[in-house]
Amino acid sequence: MNIHNIANHLNELGDKGHTGFQFDCYPIDGDVEVLQVNIVGREEIPVFLSVTDNQILCISYLWGEDEVNQERRAEMFETMLELNIPMPLSSFAKIDDKYVVYGALSVQSSIEEIEQELSVLSDNCLEVIDELADYLK
């Protein structure tokens, strides 16, 4: 499985995928091949997908450290920890100064499982933004 096969499949799905979403995918060149996956109607929260020898990693960026209300930062972390388990297929992390939600799959995952992960991650991002908006400036 590579990002080009994933991109081709998702772009060709149209509205025939089992998640009901339409995808618009763009490879991003770099040291690590990355696929930017936009879910139609949710382009403001793309998912970035990369494939390594061990996993398929899907990441969505939520907000930057500069957007966090610093007086409520510890409270935000507590809420993130509480949300981590009930949030299916996703977890929180921080990359440099950006907060993210991510999910990982086996490189043996089917294209349908990848499509499912992308849609669930996108749903989770929307829920997280709604749940944690009070902790942002």
Domains of the chain, CATH where assigned: 3-135 (3.30.1460.10)
Kindly report the CA angle at 113 between 45 and 80, in degrees rounded to 5? 45
Q: Would you give per-residue pLDDT tens digits along the chain (137 residues)?
A: 899 999 999 999 988 888 999 999 999 999 999 999 999 999 999 999 999 999 999 999 999 999 999 999 999 999 999 999 999 889 999 999 999 999 999 999 999 999 999 999 999 999 999 999 999 99
What is the model's pLDDT at position 15?
81
Nearest to 103 by CA among 119, 80, 82, 127: 119
Helices (H) and strands (E) in the chain, counts: 3, 6
The reported pTM is 0.94
Q: Distance between CA atoms of 8 and 134, rounded to whole angstroms?
A: 39
